[in-house]
Structure 1
């Protein structure tokens, strides 16, 4: 996890982190392919031919991009992905230019950043990307000096993760969303391969590169995939049920409910094997499951999350929660499809469709025609 966190990968600039993920999978002997756009798919073959399942996780993170070289020698930036400038203030950053051999460092600071100069005005300036700038760690005095360094509009600015693990197991870092999820998935695949256990259904690990900008699992899978479990952060905040030390199952997010049967199968696996588990609903949130369905894939979807406090801000999770996610994935990948026969093919007859049995409501008592006939 720490290795992943220290590798910058804002959406749109993910090549290096995908090489890192691929190296770990290759060491495990897991076969991988990469799509034209750079999404990685690793495959563990199952015992039964035909249908398959997938676990989707994203390696891209929030970040920034240079919008303008300012006359004061600073950089105006825009966000990559959805996050507030409130939490970018004070972040150390890495600036990537077109010359791949050259990088620069800097800091995101408010326009009024010195109390000794601006006094109480530092407390009253607004919050937003128009109120911050990047101070570059080079002797520059204007836009021309920045241009001479090779910095241009459209260069990526990555927020440095600065990870820290506390003695009691908390992990504090930017970009735990979704680097902790990638670590949990790699741990699950490592456990399965090293134990040499067979799995009943072929299991793809889909590592996506555009989830933070809404285009995660849009490609890389085919019609044989019957189920997709997205692994992402679970929101720990006031009014939420998710916790940092548990595995958390999303019942509903901003795109609607997850698959009834698959979700409850995951809950049952967690309870059966005594994993601490919580159910939750996320209002302002979507995962790799949404673009997969929107792209036309016919599959069941579910969301498994590790709890993050202050998501897309000053993030924190706990190793126990990340471990619990990995353990649930190991259990899930050793289990059959939710409905083995039905889910083996994309379509089937209506009379065989598995559904929740619901008792019909009691009929209303019959009344006479009454006033309205």
Structure 2
């Protein structure tokens, strides 16, 4: 696997030299400064490429080329935004960047209720608690009609959970849930999120899937002509939040997307964390079924404490059986004669980095620990397979 690390650009507190010294050879990044929907110009792409090249690294994967909300809703100026997306794809290809990650999650990129869950060793992890989210949704945000989407028992348990929170803890929960897009330090306000949710009132899973397939029918031929690969990131978490539709969460979701637009340029970002948060997903079977569509790897792990709670865990220990997964990925890469780019997704916040401003889940030490463990596991499994052959 090609070992990469995500970097949020020149404003990131993690430096490129730190990433290089850790053994990563390539960078995953995006032009976060460009408003969603605007064209990524060749000049802007090359400027970022040069910064990365000067550090002795290569920009190999875009994460993400974001899809404008009007495309997801097939409303407003969505046709123009699709044309802009096509131009950005061509410009990236002209600059030699061929793997483009995106997601089709409405409004929120990902959701956690706790960004600083304390592990036994006092390192900090990301956590999702459904009771906390229900309390946020019904009693803090007070989303219209939200109370009708939960059972009386769920609301009672959520209210009991919330009654134990101080005002500052409630404020932190609100902030955690409404975290802005990756690379941004700005959170959504209640007014903003409620207004955005209104736009999705008439959009269910079926309609959102239709909009995704239309988008892909337009942009995938451009990617294929450029020799590029699009990789959709699974929904995170892989179930509805705030009443929003979810259409990239299960094996059946992938099958519908890939059958509708059968080009190999229409592919998957295989994220073991997002997929592993859904107990019905068989992560190894997804490799078997969609191996030719996997273009980018996010390797991380989660522990499902109960039906209401999952949290990020050590990269090698959790619901995802990482040894079996990496063995399957090595066999897949050998069969396809490719080295798939991989990044250690998320990581614990260790005490040495506490107090440093950074995006939740993207501290340096925790990700480097994950990178070292994953590299070691890949090397060991690779050696074993060679001995068997």
TM-score scaled by length of structure 1: 0.29
| Structure number with bigger Rg | 1
TM-score, length-scaled by structure 2: 0.28
Which of the pair has the greater relative contact order for Cα pairs under 8 Å at 6+ separation? 1
